[in-house]
Amino acid sequence: MQLLVFAGSTRAASFNRQLAGVAATMGRAAGAQVTYLELADFDVPLYNADLEARGTPADVLRLKQIAFEHPAWIICVPEYNASYPALLKNTLDWISSPVKADPAWTDGFKSTRGKVAGMLSASPGALGGLRSQSHLAPLLLNLHCWVAPRAYGLGHAAEAFDADGQLVAEPARRGVQAVVDQVLWAARRLQQP
């Protein structure tokens, strides 16, 4: 199973990037072939249809291809103002926008349709960013993803990781593991003929 893991933050010390690292390790341990994606590695401008009309950026096409190749996704979503950050919205808007000039990508939902998407979040606050997930879920459904019902929000994230980026508390590890396991289980079931 090809599992794509990424965080909606490019901050160097991002809690969500650390959580994505934990989820990626768990995915590998569960037998998945994991791609850990850093959104900072992609040069993606703010979406603008006039800009797009002049040509979809090469890194957007790269992201579309990577997303397309992975039936299972884990997204670690920060919470900004009780919702998800613009970085995530911008990325998902670009990859769902059809490329009219390229027959391979005229179907806007080609890279997102049928993906099993699991959500994790991390926040320094007590709620663990769970409200961001409640906004992200409808967006993922609109992209024709299967959103895993199991989710986990890591609260008090500033105290949650050790120096190696591992989760300190066993309940937190179990919360992340449950999401990883469910996403892989569902993606495998959906791939069966």
Q: Which residues bind ligand FNR (CB under 6 A)?
A: 9, 11, 14-16, 78-82, 122-125, 127, 129
State in angstroms the smallest separation of the CB of 89 from ligand FNR.
Answer: 13
Give how far Cα 77 sits from Cα of 86, 138, 164, 192, Å.
11, 14, 21, 29
Q: What is the dihedral of CA 85, 89, 90, 95, to 10 degrees?
A: 150
DSSP E strands in the chain: the ranges are 2-7, 33-37, 72-76, 116-122, 146-147, 152-154
Residue with the two structure tokens 């950050």: 85
State in angstroms the smallest separation of the CB of 91 from ligand FNR.
Answer: 14
Can you tell me the distance from the alpha carbon of 116 to that of 141, in angstroms, rounded to the nearest whole number?
10
State in angstroms the smallest separation of the CB of 92 from ligand FNR.
Answer: 17
Can you tell me the distance from the alpha carbon of 108 to that of 47, in angstroms, rounded to the nearest whole number?
15
State in angstroms the smallest separation of the CB of 88 from ligand FNR.
Answer: 11
Q: Determine the longest span between alpha carbons in the chain, in angstroms.
A: 50
State in angstroms the smallest separation of the CB of 22 from ligand FNR.
Answer: 13
Can you tell me the distance from the alpha carbon of 87 to that of 101, in angstroms, rounded to the nearest whole number?
25
